[in-house]
A and B are shown apart, each in its own frame.
Chain A
Amino acid sequence: MDQGLNRRSFLKLGAAGSALLATGSTLTLLTGCSSNDGPAAGYRHFRQQDVDLLTPLVGAVLGKALTDVGASAEDGMKAYDDLLDGAMPGTRATLFQILDLMQLGAARWFITGTWASFAEQSEDELQQTLAHWSSSDRGLSQMAFKGLTQPMFMAWYVKPEAARSTGYPGPPQVIITPEAGIPAADTAPTATS
């Protein structure tokens, strides 16, 4: 894509762009990089460009939460993907619009304060980006930080191994007594239409 043109388009939008993003409107139409290519290999929801964009960010945000249990940034990204199972289709579409926007250097600069993609930043640079971004007093930056990073934590710490790494010993053991001939309430097949 033509980054220069996109940067001009984006900057011209200014505050109106912020409002559009907040409403989940199709600002991405302007960028020409909105995609319906379907999920990346090994993912149920995130597309390949989302995986490329976000995996380094997941690694930086979760950091020791991953490495303390021998997990990788990709494991964190897959957990994020699992979390999206519960979302409504419209919720996912809104998230993808924000991610499409973040593909643009201009948008990353406006939102995070750094033009370079997360993958192009060193670990130290990513921590500096996060420090700047998380303390921004710009409403759009605050929204994007919370909207993108809060689910990373929820997605990771609901995983039993990650959960136990916080000092939480885990839940009691539910032991089902199988009764012949009665299916569990949630074993119904999906519709065949």
Chain B
Amino acid sequence: MQDLSSLPIKGINDPWKTGIKNGWDVIDGRTVSADRTLEADVVIIGTGAGGGVSAEILTQRGLKVILIEAGKLMSSDDFTLNEGQAYRDLYQEGAMRATKDAGITILQGRTVGGTTVVNWTSSFRTPSETLQYWQDTFGVENLLRQDLDPWFQKMEERLKISQWIMPPNANNDVLKKGCEALGWEWAVIPRNVEGCWNIGYCGMGCPTNAKQSMLVTTLPMAMNNGATLIHSAQAHRLLIDGDTVTGVEVRPLNNDKVPTGATVTVKAKTVIASGGGIQTPALLMRSEAPDPQSRVGKRTFLHPTTFTFGIYDKEVAPYYGAPQSLYSDEFVFKHGVDGPAGYKLEMMPMHPGLTGALMGGYGGDARNEIERLPNLASSIALLRDGFHADNPGGSVELRDNGEPVIDYPVDDYLLEGAKRTHLTMAEMHFAAGAKEIRPSHSHAGYYKSWKAAKDAINNFAYDPVITGLGSAHVMGGCAMGQDESQCVVNSDGSYKYLNGLYIIDGSVFPTSLGVNPQLTIYGMSARNATALADKLKA
């Protein structure tokens, strides 16, 4: 039996403790009780993939940058590998974020470093099909693969991205075995890690600093270059004077995410919104930013993701080992870029809290099911959303208190795709030697043969909520492109209707991607932040 519970992780240097000791300018919003005003050349709202990359590039050019982050500063010494603490401290809404009708649960980061602190390290270049579709359909300019490849290469070097060289864990090995048996293509995932211990806790904050998240790469560099970080502080509204943005009104938050009552006013001629899908559109909506076509918050995409459990005779230990190391693109563009929904196949790590939530059910059956966790493998299928007129994605709305909610109707286009993903994953698990499988559908049980599973799946009602869908990729809401009937951001990241405002994060994607999004955000952010630095220093 695999057991890492006595493995000691020690001797790790926490870069933030050292940095703060050496003079990094970090303001903890929880301690701010009096109003104050700060000034910078550039204020960046959000410290994830877009904000981190932008901060490094702009500070390297000598610009004074202030970073605003709603989440707390948590670093390697704080990463206890306790699943509950991780959800509470590192995820949006304590990992309880969901779409308005509870149809899709959403895992998204909320901490210094954003989702890069909790993602599973998969790092893919954007498919050329996706970028061509953006140019053809939305008028995105100069962002085809040949334009972005140099930026991808730059960020791959910066973040030590390379194909994982260790053998896959037993969970990922299922994908290889299944695909090989069925003649489907599969490949090794490039990961942003250096000196990875292969323990499997990417989703709870890397305790060894091996994951090259923003927390240990671009943000420390920006801090060394004189940036100021204000964490535990929510960017409430943009300050707008006529058609020009002049700064941000920031509300420090206490430990319960409630405003302390103080206001920090950050003045800057250039404002970069890097809050990601959901948060960036919500900021613009709270600010009543000009939006003549009412497009802010629209076209939000999630890569709605189905899953299928397989039970194996041999131990799988899906909680240990690099969480994602193999993938299959056999079905991602099988029907073209804009046909019936395509999907990427990967595996997901399974720790008990997430497992219990995904298994659902009640009573004795639910208990018996989770007791098989050590022998469980879990495959996922990420559906490409946003490439068809029948699948326009979701909309961000604001609650009365200004918090965002996403309304994402699970439409027939997705449900038809979900059914095909269940068939594919059931077939894959049995080809890999599974004894039983269960697809992510409330009415599903465990099936002991491919034929029994196929018959069951073909007879399910595919409706919202009972079709089990999750998301770890929030994209869109501030679409990029020249088509003003759909888009609010130009291809250089500038907002169409306000001077001085740039949007550099995953919210600018006019569709989903078809791959895990971090490298796309890194590459596009490096390109647009560099162009912005050139402009500001000209």
Contacts and interface: CB of A to CB of B under 8 A. Distances in A.
A166 B256 CA distance: 31
Contact of B73 (A147, A155, A185): A185
A14 interface: no
B351 interface: yes
Interface string A116-134: 0000000000010010001
Contacts of B207: 172, 174
B93 A172 contact: no
A189 B95 contact: no
A166 B318 CA distance: 12
A65 B366 contact: yes
A87 B93 contact: yes
Interface string A79-102: 000111111111100000000000
Given A134-B442, A185-B16, A64 B5 contact: no
B20 A172 contact: no
Most buried by A among B20, B260, B465: B465
Given A175-B10, A184-B77, A193 B17 contact: no
A2 interface: no
Given A82-B84, A182-B20, A185-B17, A171 B5 contact: yes
Contacts of B84: 82-83, 155, 158-159
B180 to A, nearest CB: 28
A178 to B, nearest CB: 9
Contacts, number: 236
Nearest to B18: A182
A36 interface: no
Contacts of B18: 182
Nearest to B315: A167
A119 B356 CA distance: 24
B195 interface: no
A173 B8 contact: yes
Contact of A185 (B1, B77, B97, B102): B77
Given A88-B403, A89-B258, A156-B356, A64 B367 contact: yes
A165 B6 CA distance: 17
A191 B17 contact: no
Contacts of A137: 461
Contacts of A182: 17-18, 20-21
A163 B367 contact: no
Interface in B1-41: 1-11, 14, 16-18, 20-21, 28-34
B142 interface: no
B83 interface: yes
Given A130-B363, A158-B87, A151 B357 contact: yes
A-side interface size class: 35 or more
B30 A90 contact: no
Given A173-B8, A174-B207, A193 B34 contact: yes
B62 interface: no
B82 interface: yes
A41 interface: no
Contact of B10 (A65, A83, A169, A177): A177
Contacts of A110: none
Given A85-B94, A150-B360, A166-B370, A172 B199 contact: yes
B357 A153 contact: yes
B95 A154 contact: yes
Nearest to A160: B82
Contacts of A91: 93, 96-97, 403
Given A146-B102, A154-B96, A193-B260, 6 more contacts: A83-B96, A143-B101, A147-B102, A158-B82, A190-B255, A191-B30
Interface of B: 1-11, 14, 16-18, 20-21, 28-34, 72-75, 77-84, 87-89, 91, 93-98, 100-102, 105, 199, 201, 204, 207, 252, 254-258, 260-262, 319, 351-357, 359-364, 366-367, 370-374, 399-401, 403, 405, 442-443, 461, 463-466
6 contacts: A63-B366, A88-B257, A127-B362, A158-B83, A168-B319, A174-B80
